[in-house]
A and B are shown apart, each in its own frame.
Chain A
Amino acid sequence: MQPVHEHELVERCRRGDEGAFQELVNQYKDLVFAIIARTARDASSAEDLAQEVFLRIHRGLPYFRGEARLSTWIYRIVANVCVQEQQGRKPVTRSLDEDSLDRRAAPLGATRELSDLILRDRLEKAIARLPANYRLLVAAHYLQGVRYEDLAEALNLPLGTLKTQLHRAKRQLRRLLETELK
């Protein structure tokens, strides 16, 4: 069930209150944008995809029954947009050794900061190699406040299945980063 504030906000949006929808956008824009930016392969299209999410929210509000929380429903829309974006793209194979932050180019005795920077860069490249659904799970779960239960409800997955998939995603990352983590 929705909290009272969420219920009032949805009702005001349904009545065509533009200020209420603007309030909804301000409340969720960072969350939506962060998940999209971390999930989409092409970072430049993140804003377009985030706009598409809110457009679908605006069109779908008259049909939103309020059985789930508003945030759960929004996560579901974000997941659908990410999956559809991925289906429209050709698969990209990227080596972890691309670009200037190649580990082999790092000088011997590189500082800890440089090593961390290289590792974070390779983590991002490893994440980009995950399937879209794994990328979405990794992006959504590590944002503050997005619990397993909310994600499971949004993606229509049993809680156990969601955790298993997330662990598999991290196992793939561990294997992709095996050399760096030793």
Chain B
Amino acid sequence: MFCDEVLELVEALAAGDLTPDPRVMTHVQSCAGCAAALAAARRVDGLLKQRTAPSAPPQFTTRIMGRIRRDRWRRDQFLDLGFNLTVGVVLLFVLTGFWILLSQSGLGGISHDAANILGSAVSDLMHRATPSLPLYLAASAIVATALGVWWWAEKDA
């Protein structure tokens, strides 16, 4: 056998994945280079077996369970948003259809008067609420700030 043929086999021989062929072993015994290569391959195999296996850090399970819960929460939030948007779009279609139906059925005039009455009631309510507008704005700003801080805290989690 030639050296290059044997050298292709030394790793398999060293790992015990190949049954030693008598011709191969005869060549190894007579060739210093191939014998050294086989010894080196066995040494590499031994070193690899001795490598220590690093263990997971002590709090690994706790950290991964926390990450899983946050991931599940984010996915649920995404689903909720999708659901709410879908309901909103469907409602819009329904209202549009209802409005078209009203217009074409001649009830548009009645609904227009009803809208005017509702509009003046809302306007009256706004006039009554206006003195308290700065208070409402301040409360809205506080709520918006709290939501912003909560979003910022959660976004990197």
Which of B59-67, B127-135, B148-156 sits within the interface?
B59-67
User: Which residues of B1-50 have CB atoms within 8 Å of chain A's CB atoms?
Assistant: 10-12, 14-15, 17, 36-37, 39-41, 43-45, 47-50
A144 to B52, CA, bound (A): 11
A177 interface hit (Cβ, 8 Å) = yes
B71 interface hit (Cβ, 8 Å) = yes
- What's the minimum C-beta distance from B36 to chain A, rounded to whole angstroms? 7
Cβ A182 vs Cβ B36 within 8 A: yes
- What's the minimum C-beta distance from A140 to chain B, rounded to whole angstroms? 11
A119 interface hit (Cβ, 8 Å) = yes
Cβ B55 vs Cβ A33 within 8 A: yes
| Interfacial chain A residues near B48, Cβ < 8 Å | 123, 138, 142, 170, 173
Which interface class (under 10, 10 to 19, 20 to 34, 35 or more) fits A? 35 or more
Cβ B68 vs Cβ A34 within 8 A: no
Closest to B37 in A: A174
A92 to B126, CA, bound (A): 68
| Interfacial chain A residues near B40, Cβ < 8 Å | 174, 177-178, 181-182
Cβ B65 vs Cβ A22 within 8 A: yes
| Interfacial chain B residues near A167, Cβ < 8 Å | 11-12, 15, 17
Cβ A33 vs Cβ B56 within 8 A: yes
Cβ B68 vs Cβ A58 within 8 A: yes
Cβ A37 vs Cβ B57 within 8 A: no
Cβ A33 vs Cβ B60 within 8 A: yes
User: Which residues of B116-140 have CB atoms within 8 Å of chain A's CB atoms?
Assistant: none
Cβ A170 vs Cβ B67 within 8 A: no
Closest to B72 in A: A58
Cβ B68 vs Cβ A142 within 8 A: no
Instruction: From known contacts A37-B54, A38-B51, A182-B36, infer whether A170 and B44 are also in contact, taking CB-CB under 8 Å.
Output: yes
B114 interface hit (Cβ, 8 Å) = no
A79 to B17, CA, bound (A): 24
| Interfacial chain B residues near A142, Cβ < 8 Å | 48-49, 51
- What's the minimum C-beta distance from A159 to chain B, rounded to whole angstroms? 10
Which of A3-11, A47-55, A64-72, A150-158 sits within the interface?
A47-55
| Interfacial chain B residues near A119, Cβ < 8 Å | 47
A17 interface hit (Cβ, 8 Å) = no
A163 to B8, CA, bound (A): 13
Q: List 12 A-B contacts (CB under 8 A).
A: A29-B61, A30-B55, A30-B56, A32-B56, A46-B54, A120-B50, A143-B53, A144-B53, A163-B17, A167-B12, A170-B11, A174-B40
Residues on B facing A (Cβ under 8 Å): 10-12, 14-15, 17, 36-37, 39-41, 43-45, 47-51, 53-57, 60-61, 63-65, 67-68, 71
For the complex with contacts A25-B64, A47-B63, A144-B53, 11 further pairs of A-B residues with Cβ separation under 8 Å are A22-B61, A29-B61, A29-B64, A30-B56, A33-B60, A37-B54, A38-B51, A51-B63, A54-B64, A143-B53, A166-B15
